[in-house]
Amino acid sequence: MAARPLNEAARGLDERFGLAGFLKKAAKKVFPDHWSFLLGEAAMYSFVIIVVTGIFLTLFFKPSMTEVVYNGSYVPLRGVRMSEAYESTLQISFDVRGGLLVRQLHHWGTIVFLSAIIAHMLRNFFTGAFRKPRELNWVIGVILFLLVMINGLFGYSLPDDLLSGTGLRILEGVLLAIPIVGTYLTLFLFDGTFPGDAIIPRLFTVHILLIPLILLALIPLHAVVLTWRQTHTQFPARGRTNRVVEGKPFWPSFIIKTLAYQLWVFFVIALLSVAFQVNPIWLFGPYNPGAISAGSQPDWYMGWLEGSLRLMPRWEIDAFGHTVPMNVLIPALFIPGLLFTALAVYPFLERWALGDYEIHHLLDRPRDMPVRTGIGMAGVTFYGLLWMAGANDIIAKTFYIPLYGTTWFFRVGVFVGPVLAFVISRRIALGLQRREVAMLRHGVESGKIFRRPSGEYEEPDHPLDPEAEAVIRGRRVPRRLPEPRPDQAGVEPKEARRPSARLRRRLNRLYTEDVVPLPNGEHEERPAIEAERPPPH
């Protein structure tokens, strides 16, 4: 009897929205089993924590810079003048039941969210999951990364404590450094001179309304719409092709697994929130423009910007009666702009350099594309060194190292480290390719040594396992572009003499040189879907 109302409701929905066909097809959609597929889901589920806890905090937070005298539960700050924003945050922490735990959950959820986004992006980069037809999804992911970073900074600044106010002071300095329009941008943001009395309400509006609405539009588009419209990516294996996906159906296998994983993500964030204190604003006190905390550090995802500001030497340009502070513009605007632009355009740059306009549903292993792996490791090294440089004073104090010694170490490291990372990573990938080709040609060692009647010792090799051979033969060897044919006078065609064409040939040689070809020159396990598209000029 209980099933009858459900059947009636399902029939009514189907008659009005035509859901039966979609749900039947969706229930059979295949999802891969590889563990790296769950990195994106960790980001999605931590975002759920952020939204739920953010709604709770919004009910009690007062986004006002009106000055009041604190008379709450935290005795050391009683009688201290502070903004209503700081007072309401203290009230949430000490007087609202469960308020401190919710603050911890919100903050740790943001940290896990950004960690999962970066891990997910690295997985997609090193495996080539950004290739056609997923370039748009990659660009959306880069935009999400940038928006979440900005929103994290704004949310961190809302309590109006001494540490968050220091971050806003840095933001003001960065805006003032922009030539011509910097002063106007600062006056617009702060509604006058710093700190003013409007910055907290404005950040609050952006933090809980503007950016979350954009995220709520982009995350479903990135994680659901485009993913459901496209075939899922998978690593090469026996029987897998661009047209065949191996895995478990959405219902019931995947839905059960993903719900269990959702509970696990919630548990990890809750455990971090209970066990590790983060952002204890009552220890910092209310913001005072004339004070700063020694050893203050931002959240980890903003540490690389802090490091870039610390490493840049003092450099200013005086022109036409104005001073352009390059020591702020380069580390705070140029480097982040270069990083996010490079992330967004890389899929199109690689496609252009390789002339690869095929559709890819099979992933690469990092060793399959040595140059891409080298570029990725160079970027990770650059980011990591800047992140460590953001704590150079803590490093110097902890290990008794001269502060300027750490500064110069990181100044040299951000140039030398990425180059070394690129060279070493590329050579490792090429070495792994050679090893696999040798395994295809000669098999694998048996571990048994025999002595011939002649006294000679030998170790016979076993043929490679078919499953392992299929994985190795799943590697797609990048193709070198044909060289332009000169005419009878030895002159190259006009199109080939263009700077863009020369650059493309150089990039193509970089990607294709030293790559180890597979035996027999090709494989049968990965038929490609060719795209009808004329070659670019």
Share of the chain above pLDDT 70, in %: 92
Mean pLDDT, rounded, for 145-149: 95
DSSP state of 250: I
> For all residues of the chain together, what is the average pLDDT?
87
Count Cβ atoms within 10 A of the Cβ of residue 478 and give its class: 0-12 exposed, 13-18 middle, 19 or more buried.
buried
* Contact status, residue 432 vs residue 516, Cβ threshold 8 Å: no
**For 161-211, how does the pLDDT look when each residue is reduced to its tens digit (9 = 90+)?**
998 888 888 899 999 988 888 889 999 888 888 888 889 999 999 999 999
- Coil, helix or strand at residue 312: coil
Least-confidence region, from 67-81, 110-124, 284-298, 509-523 = 509-523
Q: What was the pLDDT predicted at 429? A: 95
**For 219-240, how does the pLDDT look when each residue is reduced to its tens digit (9 = 90+)?**
888 877 666 677 788 888 887 8
**For 370-393, how does the pLDDT look when each residue is reduced to its tens digit (9 = 90+)?**
999 999 999 999 999 999 999 999
**For 63-73, how does the pLDDT look when each residue is reduced to its tens digit (9 = 90+)?**
999 999 999 89
Q: Is residue 288 predicted with pLDDT exceeding 90?
A: no
Mean pLDDT, rounded, for 97-109: 95
**All domains of the chain in start order, with CATH:** 38-235+243-302 (1.20.810.10)
Q: What was the pLDDT predicted at 408? A: 95
- With cut-offs at 50, 70 and 90, classify the pLDDT of residue 110: very high
Count the residues in the chain: 537
Share of the chain above pLDDT 90, in %: 51
Q: What was the pLDDT predicted at 527? A: 38
Q: Which residues partner with 81 through β-bridges?
A: 69
**For 477-502, how does the pLDDT look when each residue is reduced to its tens digit (9 = 90+)?**
888 888 777 766 667 777 777 888 88
Q: How far apart are CA 105 and CA 54, in angstroms?
A: 9
Q: What was the pLDDT predicted at 6? A: 62
Count Cβ atoms within 10 A of the Cβ of residue 298 and give its class: 0-12 exposed, 13-18 middle, 19 or more buried.
buried
Q: Which residues, other chains included, contact 528 with Cβ-Cβ below 8 Å and sequence gap of 6+?
A: 242, 358, 359, 360, 476
Q: What was the pLDDT predicted at 449? A: 85
Residue 58 belongs to what H/E stretch? Answer: helix 38-60
Q: What was the pLDDT predicted at 420? A: 97
**For 176-190, how does the pLDDT look when each residue is reduced to its tens digit (9 = 90+)?**
988 888 889 999 888
Q: Is residue 518 predicted with pLDDT exceeding 90?
A: no
Q: Which residues, other chains included, contact 374 with Cβ-Cβ below 8 Å and sequence gap of 6+?
A: 421, 422, 423, 425, 426, 429
Mean pLDDT, rounded, for 273-279: 93
Mean pLDDT, rounded, for 135-144: 93
- With cut-offs at 50, 70 and 90, classify the pLDDT of residue 537: very low
**For 440-462, how does the pLDDT look when each residue is reduced to its tens digit (9 = 90+)?**
888 888 778 888 888 888 877 78
